[in-house]
Structure formats: structure tokens, C-alpha cells
Amino acid sequence: MRRSLARVAGWRWWRSGTPRLACTLVLAAVIGVIVFTPDPGAGPGLAPWLEFAANIVMFLPVGAVAWWWRRSVPRNVAVGLAATVFIETVQGLFLPHRVADPRDVVANTAGALIGSLVCWQIARILTRPDRP
């Protein structure tokens, strides 16, 4: 009996939105530290394709967490695009040690798209009725 109550209580906590909000805030903090702190030695020796791939990977969780809030791939891509445009604008205007790069906008938006598409596909698989 206790175990089932704990499961119900845990499920209610999970469905309350608290974990979703916590993940969103942690993700925002991690991305903020990555994109707004100086790293003088990172840029020159990094291959362009590797930097592009790293930007895609960095925004995969953005698409996934956005999917957790709203199950809409186009909306989640728009969220990723808005976030990366904001980041690149702040870097270009206020952070002399960082460089705003339009390729980062493309890569980050692609990462949000891929993260959201992966979640969409997982949801399709999990909600698909079993066929004999």
C-alpha cells in the first residue's frame, strides 16, 4: 500500500511542472555560462566543423525541453531561433571577448530542431497502438 502511495505522490510531483521548470532553469544557466563567459583560447584552434557540431549539440536539449513544455516542433524551433538570436546579439553588442556569428544561429537552431524532432519521434513510438 505504501509503495503505491509513493508512486502516486511521485507521479503527482513529476506532473506538477516542478521538474520541467527545474530542467529549464538549469539548462538556461548552463548555456548562459557557456556563451557569456570568456574563453580566450577556445576559438583559434577549433576546426570550424567541430565548432558548428558543438553548437548543434549544445542546443539539442533546448529542443527537448521545449518539447516538454509544448509539443510543437515549429514552435520549439522558433524558441531555439529566438534564444540563439538573443545570445548572438548580446555577444555582438556587449561582450568584446566574444564574436557574434550567423553560423552559430544556424547551428543552434538546427540543434533545437533535432532535439524537438527526436522527442516527437519518441512520443509517436510510445503512443502508437500495438498492432497484432
Number of compact structural domains in the chain = 1
Residue 22 grid coordinates: 527545474
Domain presence at residue 16: no
Overall average pLDDT of the 78-82 stretch: 97
Q: Output 70 or 131, whichever has higher pLDDT.
A: 70
User: What percent of the chain lies above the pLDDT cut of 90?
Assistant: 51
Domain presence at residue 4: no
Residue 64 belongs to domain spanning: 24-127
Domain presence at residue 102: yes
Query: Is this prediction's pTM over 0.75?
Result: yes
At 21-49, the pLDDT tens digits run: 888 899 999 998 888 877 666 656 678 89
Instruction: With beta carbons less than 8 A apart as the criterion, state whether 60 and 77 touch.
Output: no
At 87-103, the pLDDT tens digits run: 999 999 998 888 889 99
